[in-house]
Structure 1
C-alpha cells in the first residue's frame, strides 16, 4: 500500500494528540544559533531519513526499523556484586545527538558508577562531562593514602574501568582537563578524611567539575586576555545529569536537572511497583520554584521564571555548564559578548547567578524485591510513565528467557514430561520480546507503543523524520537498565 506524502503525514501527526510537541524545541534551536555553539566535539551518526520513490515517501521496513533501534545498544554482565548486568541504548532526535551516557567500575574502591547526561545548546558540555565526571567521583571516594599514590603515579586511568566509551575529546582540550584534574587531586589529598561520606563526595565532585568548566575559560583569559573558543563552547552549552554509585546494597543517585532514576520492585503478590528515586528540577517542582524565588529580589519574581523557564529561556532549573546564567554580566560582556553578540546576556539579568549545579543526592538500600533500575534522560519520560516503563521491563524479563536454548531439568525426564515442557514453552513464546536488550525494548515501545501494542507505521514514521522535524515530536532518548542480583541482596547483612 502506498504511503501518503510526508507533508500529509506531518499534518496528520501534528493534529493527533498522541504525539507530544517538545515545548523547548524552538528555544533550544534559537539558542544554539545565536550562541554560535559548535554542534559537536566528535562525529556522530545521522538520523535515518525516509527515501522517496516517484515523489512518495518510502518508510523503513520492520527490519530496517529494528536496525535503527539496535544501532547503539550495549550489554555488560558482571560476575560479582549486587548488579548482575546492564543494558543500554540511545536514539537520536537531534543531529548530532545531545545525550551521552557512561558506565565504569571503580578500580581503587568498591562500587559501580553509571550516568546519563542530557545536553542542550549543543552536545559539547554533555560530551565533556560524560568523559570527566566518573573520574572526579571515583577520586572523591578515595582515602588519603590512595589519593597520594594516585598523584605520585600520575595515572588517572587507574581510577575506573569504563565500558562502551564512544566519546572522543580533542587533544588540546585533554591537556587542559588533565591539568585541572591533577589540581583537583592535590586539593582532595590535602583535605581528605579517612571515612568519606558518599553523599557528600558525590556533591563535591559534581560541583567541582562544574567549577572547573568555568575556570578553564576564565583563568587563561585573566592571564592572557584570550578566550579559548572550545572551552567557551563547553561552558556556554549545558547538560543535566543523573549519576548513580552502587556498592553492594547501597545505592546513591545524584541528580541535577530532569533526568530520572526509577527502581522496579516486585511485591509479594507478583505485582510491579515503580519507585521513582529522583525529583526533576523544573517548573513543575514547586519546591524548586520557591528556592529560586528566595534567591532573588522580590522585584524579579515575575521574570526569574517565565513561561516555565529560567529567565524565559532554560527549561531545567539546575544544570552543569550554562555559564550564560551563572557568570556576572560584566564577565559575560568581556568573555562571551565579543564572540556571541549582545544576546549572550539574557534579558532581565540583574542578580546572577540564576543557575546552580548543586545535585540532590538520594540514598536507597536495595532489597531482594528490587529487581532493576531504569536510568534515563527525559526523552524517555516524556513518552512513558515510570510505571509503564517498569511494567515493560518486567514483561521483558519474563519473556527474554526464551532467547536461550531449552535445557531439560534432568537427564532421566520422561517423554510425556518433555512434551508438556515443550507445550508450555510454545505457549509462553507468545510473550517473547522482539529485542533481547531491555533498553531497546523501551525505545521501541516509547516511540511506537499504543494501547494495543507497537504500531509499526507510527514507529517507522517517527524514525524517518529529518532531525529538524523530529525534534518537534520527541527528544533524544538515552536509557540504561541495571539488573540487580536478588540472591546477593538476600544474603547481605541487614
Structure 2
C-alpha cells in the first residue's frame, strides 16, 4: 500500500473518530452526569439527604458567568490586527492550558501563542512566561541585540497582554540568568539574516534546551530548586505560536494544537484553511520519522496504542525530558526523586522526542478575516470549518452589541424607521457572547445540530474535574481579527 493510501485511511479514521466522540457525548452525557456530577450551585434549603441525591444545574445566567470568567479582548489602533478575543475553560484542576500574547517593541510584529500542558501545568506555565521573549530576542538585528545586551533594563522586548501568571522568586532569578546566557549565545551564533522562520525555531529549541540545562547542571547543589525545575522538565507542553507582521503570517507548531485561517470568498462563503498539522499518530509522516530514527527491532514498541512508547500522545513537545534524556541522566536527576517510573518502558535508544517545530508561512490577503489558534480541547469537539463558520456568523451578529449610529445627518424619519426595522430583524442573529472565543467554547460544549442545548451545556459545566476529563479537555482559544483595509494597502 502506498503512502497516499495510508494518508487517506488516516483521514477517514480521524473523521470517524470525531463523529464517534460527538455521538458518544450526545448519547451518554445525561446518563453519566446524572450519576456522577456534583453541581457547583446547590440550593441552601435542600436537606443533607436530598443533597446526596439531587443536584441543581446552573441557570443560563450562571452558565454564562462560568464561560466568561477568563475571557479577554484587545483592540489595536493600527496595523494588520484589528483586535483579538481569547478565553480559557478548565477541565483539569488546575488547568494545564496556558496562552500568551505580546507586541514586539524593538522589531515589528505581534506574537500570540497557545500552550497545552500535560503531566501537570508547570511546563506550560513556564513556557507561556518565557517563550515569546526568547523568540523576540532571536528577531533582533545585530546592532540592536548588541545594545540590548549592554543595557537590558533600558527597553523591554515585549509589551505583554493579559499576563496573569507569576513565577516564584528563586525560579525567576534562575530564568533571568538563563536569558542573559541565551542572549550571549545569540550574539555568538549571529548570522547576517535573522528571518522569522529561523527565529521561531531558535526561540523554541533554545528554551527547551534551557529547561533541561536548568535541571542537569545544578542538580547536585540545590535539591530544593531542583525539585521545581525538575517538575517543569518532566511535565510537558505542546505549542502553537503565530508571528504577524504586516501581511506576513508565520506559525510555529509543536504537537497537536492548531491554527486555522478564516477566509471569505467573493460569493460570501467561508473557507477554513488549516495552517498547521498535528504531530500525533494520525500524522503518518510523523510516524515514519520516528520509526526511521530508531532500529527496526523497536518498531513495535516505539509507537504503541497510538502513543510514543505507549505513553505520550503528542509526538513532539517541549519539556517531557523523560523521553529525551539518556538513561544515565534520568538515573542521576529523576530517579532519586520520583523512582524507577522516571524511565519509560522499552527506553532503549533515546531521545525519542523533539521540540523541533514545523514552521508555516502565509501571506495574508483582504479575504483573510481572522485566525483561530486553539488547543486540541476545542478541535476534539468541532472541525475547522465548523469553527470558522461560527466565528463568521459571530462577526455578523457582533455589530449589534454596539449602539445604533445614524449613517448621516438630516436623515428622514422614514429612513430611520426602515433602519430600526432592519436592526430589529437582524438582532435575531445577535450572539449570546460578545467574545468570539467564548462563543466557540459555548458551541463546542453545548452545540447540537439545532443550536446550543442549555441542558447539555449545564450538565457538562457541572462535572467535577475527575469526571469532566471523560468528556472534554481544557480549552484555550484565541481569535485574531485582521484589518482587511490595512492588508489591502500593503505592497505586493
Aligned to 1:113: 111
Q: Distance in 2 between matches of 1:226 and 1:158?
A: 31
Deviation at 1:412, TM superposition (A): 1.5
Residue 60 of structure 1, aligned match among 58, 61, 67: 58
Question: Please, which runs of 5 or more residues in structure 2 have no aligned partner?
Answer: 1-20, 29-37
Aligned to 1:363: 361
Residue 268 of structure 1, aligned match among 241, 266, 269: 266
Which whole-Å deviations, capped at 9, do the CAs of 1:381-428 have from their partners, x for residues lacking one? Answer: 000100000000000000000001111111121111111111111000
Secondary structure of the corresponding residue to residue 92 of structure 2: coil
Aligned to 1:294: 292
Please say if residues 106 and 112 of structure 1, whose CA atoms lie closer than 8 Å, have aligned partners that are also in contact: yes
Q: Distance in 2 between matches of 1:86 and 1:101?
A: 13
Q: Distance in 1 between matches of 2:123 and 2:222?
A: 24
Aligned to 2:202: 204
Please say if residues 318 and 355 of structure 2, whose CA atoms lie closer than 8 Å, have aligned partners that are also in contact: yes
Residue 432 of structure 1, aligned match among 425, 430, 433: 430
- Alignment partner of 1:169 is 2:199: no
- Residues 1:441 and 1:108: Cα distance change in structure 2 (over 3 Å): same
Deviation at 1:51, TM superposition (A): 2.5
Alignment of 1:35-74 (within 5 A): 49-51=40-42, 53=46, 54=50, 55-74=53-72
Q: Distance in 2 between matches of 1:358 and 1:155?
A: 31
Aligned to 2:25: 18
- Residues 1:336 and 1:366: Cα distance change in structure 2 (over 3 Å): same
- Residues 1:48 and 1:321: Cα distance change in structure 2 (over 3 Å): farther
Which whole-Å deviations, capped at 9, do the CAs of 1:197-243 have from their partners, x for residues lacking one? Answer: 11011111100000000000001126778871000000000000000
TM normalised by structure 1 equals 0.90
Q: Which moved more, 1:124-133 or 1:142-151?
A: 142-151
Aligned to 1:420: 418
Aligned to 1:482: 480
Aligned to 1:402: 400
Aligned to 2:176: 178
Q: Distance in 2 between matches of 1:48 and 1:194?
A: 59
Tell me how large the CA RMSD over aligned residues is.
Answer: 1.7
Q: Which moved more, 1:99-108 or 1:213-222?
A: 213-222
Secondary structure of the corresponding residue to residue 17 of structure 1: helix
Please say if residues 19 and 473 of structure 1, whose CA atoms lie closer than 8 Å, have aligned partners that are also in contact: no
Aligned length: 456
Deviation at 1:442, TM superposition (A): 0.4
Aligned to 1:219: 217
Deviation at 1:153, TM superposition (A): 1.2
Q: Distance in 2 between matches of 1:101 and 1:48?
A: 28
Deviation at 1:189, TM superposition (A): 1.6
Please say if residues 125 and 239 of structure 1, whose CA atoms lie closer than 8 Å, have aligned partners that are also in contact: yes
Q: Distance in 1 between matches of 2:450 and 2:154?
A: 50
Q: Distance in 1 between matches of 2:416 and 2:61?
A: 34
- Alignment partner of 1:322 is 2:313: no
Secondary structure of the corresponding residue to residue 379 of structure 1: helix
